[in-house]
């Protein structure tokens, strides 16, 4: 095991006060004012903070997308998972998306014992294989090409009957783009069905934020709606919406007829029926199920519902004994799911690991929607800190996702107030906070709400940074990716934009400055910078620091 003790810097031993890392989730840089909720908002304090940091040469801009955060290509938007991984790891790590892509495209996935076991189970029981997952090319939780690869793998393995339960996106892709992805999926299914031995069909679905993909145990009703539709063949029923349809296209179009502005992410659940008006994809004993999302946070709850014999979070109208697999291990602490195909990336020697080795007290806080990011993903995909006695966490309970558009302040002020209380106690040297507003409100596509979100974060940063000055500490203000700075035509997805990196140091006497010689700095450079500011050399595996010291 590697020695994690750090070497002190020769000429800088940090400040007497604490170091605070503020992550403004989903707030990127966009020079244009068009559809830019950040520029439209009153963010006077942030503007002055950036200007002052520039004057002191304590400001730079960071890449937060694509290969800079371990994604397969540079046309892919960053996200909170990979962003916090990069910040916490201090380097670029291969992400779940890349591991999944390689395993499917190379055919490696279909050669492992687990796949062969699943195929044998289906053959021996003459049962159906069900796929559940997010149908889009957003590459945040899944990618439609992965599903296509799995369908081809199932066909090659001579699995004759497949049902696909689709979760519609509208969040990491345009808000009303679902029909495009359904059309692409049907093309793949129709090709397979040209051989009459095969019967591959869409069976059920719904919008991801309303059906199945809850996270952090925020609203189990979301998961229940998914269970009812995917497993039991029971959809939501409301006025002018029976929930039963002959095609996914009909379901989507009917929901939009009822509410022309509805985003795909909030579409009600639906169930596809045959000519006898019977659900075509209701699950039965001995069926097999694959949840094909690679990302874990929104896969854990539905996996628990399938895996746990004593499950009690909601009452199930049906409970068939199925053979359930996840694409990856979604939670290593709870071992969810019990069966999975691919191992997630393990990130060793994180920033937290080094700080723990140096016995540096740490504190982190976020509301529920981003708590897993400030902890699990920052820790290198781990639920447990290396030093729980020194590294403490507080979660502020979030409102349900469907209320965010109407409560854009979210729990930011509660998070800020609790952090001020902790700062005043003086027990921690390194603290970090995530403000979720920019991302979560940006995902709603509501421009006016996004303006309020930006102003809320501005106000929270102001109070925290000013208090840090009084404490003789240093504040770093950055973000994990962009979102609300580009809301063109109700754009709800992340962006490819850079994010700010600004240092606020009231005791600054030109001891250090931004290293402008770094080529394309990114989020992975932040950890080494934090160690430098605390008075330590960076370890060898970390990317270079964003600052350089006077000689």
pLDDT for 318-351, tens place per residue? 999 999 999 999 998 889 999 999 999 889 999 9
Task: Give dist(CA 531, CA 537) in Å, integer.
Answer: 7
- Tokens describing residue 86: 């990069």
Among 16, 32, 33, 80, the active-site one is 80
CATH dotted code for 20-76+360-371+392-518? 3.40.720.10
Task: Give dist(CA 144, CA 65) in Å, integer.
Answer: 20
Mean per-residue pLDDT, 433-454: 96
Looking at every residue in the chain, the average pLDDT score rounds to: 96
pLDDT tens digit sequence for 174-194: 999 999 999 999 999 999 999
Q: Are 57 and 513 in contact (CB under 8 A)?
A: yes
256-270, 271-285, 477-491: least confident range: 477-491
Check residue 258 and give its pLDDT: 97
pLDDT at residue 133 greater than cutoff 60: yes
Mean per-residue pLDDT, 283-305: 98
Return the bridge partners of 131, or none.
Answer: 164, 290
Task: Give dist(CA 27, CA 499) in Å, integer.
Answer: 7
- Between 488 and 250, where is the model more confident? 250
3: pLDDT confidence band, cut at 50, 70 and 90?
confident
Q: Are 499 and 478 in contact (CB under 8 A)?
A: yes
pLDDT tens digit sequence for 383-427: 899 999 999 999 999 998 889 999 999 999 999 999 999 999 999
Q: Are 492 and 486 in contact (CB under 8 A)?
A: no
Upstream peptide bond of 216 is cis (omega within 30 degrees of 0): no
pLDDT at residue 105 greater than cutoff 80: yes
Task: Give dist(CA 315, CA 231) in Å, integer.
Answer: 13
Mean per-residue pLDDT, 517-527: 97
Q: Give me the percent of the chain exceeding a pLDDT of 70.
A: 99
Listed residue (472, 444, 439) closest to 457, CA to CA? 439
- Tokens describing residue 457: 């974060």
343's CB contacts (< 8 A; 6+ apart) are: 99, 328, 329
- Between 216 and 27, where is the model more confident? 27
How do strand 323-328 and strand 340-342 relate by DSSP bridges?
A: parallel
pLDDT tens digit sequence for 32-87: 999 999 999 999 999 999 999 999 999 999 999 999 999 988 998 999 999 999 99
Listed residue (407, 465, 476) closest to 436, CA to CA? 407
216's CB contacts (< 8 A; 6+ apart) are: 297, 368, 369, 371, 372, 398
Task: Give dist(CA 28, CA 496) in Å, integer.
Answer: 9
471's CB contacts (< 8 A; 6+ apart) are: 17, 18, 423, 426
With residue 396 as reference, give the H or E element that holds it. strand 391-396
80 is catalytic: yes
- Tokens describing residue 70: 């371990």
Check residue 72 and give its pLDDT: 87
1: pLDDT confidence band, cut at 50, 70 and 90?
low
For the chain, the C-alpha Rg in angstroms (whole number) is 24
- Burial degree of 222 (CB within 10 A; 0-12, 13-18, 19+): buried
Residue position matching structure tokens 């009690």: 312
pLDDT at residue 489 greater than cutoff 90: no
Task: Give dist(CA 233, CA 372) in Å, integer.
Answer: 32
Cα dihedral 122, 125, 128, 131 in deg (nearest 10): -40
Residue position matching structure tokens 């679902």: 178
pLDDT at residue 270 greater than cutoff 80: yes
Task: Give dist(CA 386, CA 363) in Å, integer.
Answer: 13
- pTM for this entry: 0.85
Angle at 272 between CA 270 and CA 277, to 5 degrees: 120
Eight-state DSSP code of residue 165:
E
CB atoms within 10 A of CB 237: 11
Domain ranges of the chain: 20-76+360-371+392-518, 97-342
Task: Give dist(CA 78, CA 95) in Å, integer.
Answer: 11
Q: Give me the percent of the chain exceeding a pLDDT of 90.
A: 93
How do strand 288-291 and strand 323-328 relate by DSSP bridges?
A: parallel
Topology (CATH) of 97-342: 3.40.1450
Tell me the CA distances in angstroms from 219 to 31, 339, 522, one per residue in order. 37, 25, 34
Task: Give dist(CA 250, CA 272) in Å, integer.
Answer: 10
Q: Are 478 and 435 in contact (CB under 8 A)?
A: no
Mean per-residue pLDDT, 506-523: 96
Listed residue (462, 451, 458, 372) closest to 408, CA to CA? 451
490: pLDDT confidence band, cut at 50, 70 and 90?
low
- Burial degree of 463 (CB within 10 A; 0-12, 13-18, 19+): middle
């Amino acid at each position: 095991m590697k020695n994690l003790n750090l070497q002190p810097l020769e000429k800088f031993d940090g400040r007497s006060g604490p170091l605070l890392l503020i992550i403004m989730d989903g707030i990127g840089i966009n020079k244009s004012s068009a559809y830019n909720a950040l520029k439209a908002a009153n963010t006077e304090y942030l503007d002055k903070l950036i200007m002052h940091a520039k004057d002191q040469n304590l400001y730079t801009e960071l890449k937060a997308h694509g290969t800079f955060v371990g994604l397969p290509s540079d046309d892919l938007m960053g996200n909170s998972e990979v962003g916090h991984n990069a910040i916490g790891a201090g380097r670029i790590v291969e992400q779940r998306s890349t591991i999944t892509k390689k395993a499917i495209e190379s055919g490696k996935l279909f050669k492992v014992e687990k796949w062969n076991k699943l195929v044998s189970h289906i053959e021996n029981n003459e049962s159906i294989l069900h796929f559940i997952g997010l149908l889009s090319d957003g590459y945040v939780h899944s990618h439609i090409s992965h599903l296509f690869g799995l369908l081809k793998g199932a066909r090659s393995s001579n699995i004759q009957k497949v049902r696909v339960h689709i979760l519609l996106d509208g969040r990491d892709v345009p808000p009303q783009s679902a029909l495009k992805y359904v059309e692409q999926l049907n093309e793949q299914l129709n090709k397979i069905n040209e051989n009459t031995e095969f019967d591959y069909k869409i069976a059920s679905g719904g919008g991801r934020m309303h059906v199945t993909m809850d996270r952090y145990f925020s609203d189990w009703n979301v998961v229940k709606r998914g269970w009812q539709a995917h497993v039991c063949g029971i959809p939501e029923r409301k006025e002018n919406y029976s929930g039963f349809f002959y095609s996914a296209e009909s379901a989507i179009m009917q929901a939009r007829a009822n509410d022309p502005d509805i985003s795909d992410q909030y579409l009600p659940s639906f169930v596809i029926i045959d000519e006898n008006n019977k659900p075509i994809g209701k699950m039965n004993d001995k069926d097999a199920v694959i949840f094909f999302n690679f990302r874990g946070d929104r896969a854990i709850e539905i996996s628990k519902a399938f895996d746990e014999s004593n499950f009690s979070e909601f009452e199930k109208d049906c409970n068939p004994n199925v053979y359930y697999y996840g694409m990856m291990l979604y939670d290593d602490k709870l071992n969810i799911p019990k069966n999975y195909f691919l191992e997630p990336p393990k990130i060793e020697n994180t920033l937290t690991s080094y700080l723990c080795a140096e016995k540096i007290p740490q504190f982190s806080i976020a509301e529920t929607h981003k708590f897993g990011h400030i902890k699990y993903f920052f820790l290198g995909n781990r639920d447990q800190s290396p030093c729980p006695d020194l590294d403490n966490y507080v979660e502020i309970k979030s409102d349900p996702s469907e209320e965010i558009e109407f409560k854009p302040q979210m729990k930011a002020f509660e998070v800020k107030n609790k952090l001020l209380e902790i700062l005043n106690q003086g027990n921690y040297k390194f603290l970090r906070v995530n403000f979720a507003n920019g991302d979560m409100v940006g995902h709603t596509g509501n421009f006016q709400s996004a303006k309020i979100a930006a102003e809320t974060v501005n106000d929270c940063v102001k109070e925290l940074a000013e208090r840090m000055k009084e404490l003789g500490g240093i504040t770093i203000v950055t973000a994990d990716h962009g979102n609300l700075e580009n809301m063109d035509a109700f754009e709800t997805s992340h962006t490819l934009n850079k994010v700010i990196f600004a240092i606020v140091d009231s005791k600054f006497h030109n001891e250090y400055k931004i290293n402008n010689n770094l080529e394309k700095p990114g989020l992975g450079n932040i950890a080494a910078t934090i160690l430098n500011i605390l008075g330590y050399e960076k370890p060898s595996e970390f990317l270079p620091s964003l600052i350089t010291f006077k000689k």
